[in-house]
Amino acid sequence: MGKIRPMHPRLLVSCVIAADTHIDVRHPEPRLPMIRLEKVLRDAASARPVPDAFIVAGDVTSRGSAANWEKTRAVFASSPRPAREIVLMPGNHDTWSYGGYDPAFEEYRRASSDITGKEPVAPYSAATFGGFRFLFLGSTGDGGDYPILGEEQLSWLEREIRKEKETGLPVFVFNHESLNGRHGFPETGTAHPYPGMDPADSGVGAESARLEEILREAPRVFYFSGHSHMGISGEASARQKGYASIEEDGTLTVINLPSVGCGNHSGEYNHKNCCLVLEIYEERVVMRFRNAKERRWVGLPLRDGKSFWETPLL
């Protein structure tokens, strides 16, 4: 048991990142996903220094209904504020409703405004923490399990990436779905793989190649996704099975987040209630997985036999 504290001196930015909280009034026990989100919020709120951001990388709800967002508001209202800034990203479940994408996005817009204090004008946005650019992507339509990023959003992303290229600093990009073919997908994107799966399953889909091309224009990008409910996998999985939750490919580092609210699969550590703590220091980036319910770091070796991922900042 313990609280979130920096690993090193000269901390510049810290974020607590969760995904797939799936607040759901139709859950057999609707309080369970709410309690799991509350555990993560309370754990984040105990961090010192106060985190710069608390980010939910999509599928905040299991369907973007008014009832589900009302439950989500209730959890945040009854919990201590987890960070200076709160970012709620829309995932594919958040943009599903019985009336289509537009009513679902409107429910998300209102709830996000109430919870974060900032009203989203589009499913994608940007923020700066400690001088580092954070870019949040989102679907502009109902593409089922795949996002519809669209040329307008991709062009916006390209402009943002090119601006940051001049600084030489890494960029932190968040999208609910992974790039295609990462983290052992498509097979690890479901608890029950089947023959002949589409290589894009659990990924961005048709726009993945274009998205990756843009990301590679930056000197360095950290790309965070959820969606698959894959458990946490470390260096043993990388060695034995060829995939892990954090994978490095040249200038691109991709990170897959487990589900907070639902069951996880295909990992070495499949517990719920888990999040990721991102720390940016003057000389390095550190990522650590955390079980918020137990208030302890996940001890799974991620790199060089250590239970954290550490890499030079530049």
The per-residue DSSP string of 131-155 comes to TEEEEE---SS--TTS---HHHHHH
Query: Residue 47's pLDDT is what?
Result: 98
Q: pLDDT tens for residues 190-248?
A: 999 998 899 888 899 999 999 999 999 999 999 999 999 999 999 999 999 999 999 99
Tokens 């985190």 identify what position?
51
Supply the pLDDT for residue 196: 87
Separation between Cα atoms, residue 268 and residue 92, nearest integer Å = 26
Per-residue pLDDT band for 1 (boundaries 50, 70, 90) equals low
Residue 136, token pair as written in the block: 């949040």
Residues 6+ apart with CB under 8 A from 240: none
Instruction: Name the architecture of domain 11-312.
Output: 4-Layer Sandwich (3.60)
pLDDT digits (tens, 9 = 90+) for 259-286: 999 999 999 999 999 999 999 999 999 9
Quick: pLDDT tens for 99-128: 899 999 999 999 999 999 999 999 999 999
Measured torsion, CA atoms of residues 239, 240, 241, 246, in degrees rounded to the nearest 10: -30
Chain mean pLDDT for the chain: 96
Residue 92's identity, in one-letter code, is N
Q: pLDDT (tens digit, 9 = 90+) per residue, 27-70?
A: 999 999 999 999 999 999 999 999 999 999 999 999 999 999 99
Main-chain dihedrals φ then ψ at residue 107, nearest 5 degrees: -65, -45
Give the other-Cβ count within 10 Å of 245's Cβ.
27
Residue 11 is encoded by which pair of tokens? 């901390």
Domain definitions of the chain by residue range: 11-312
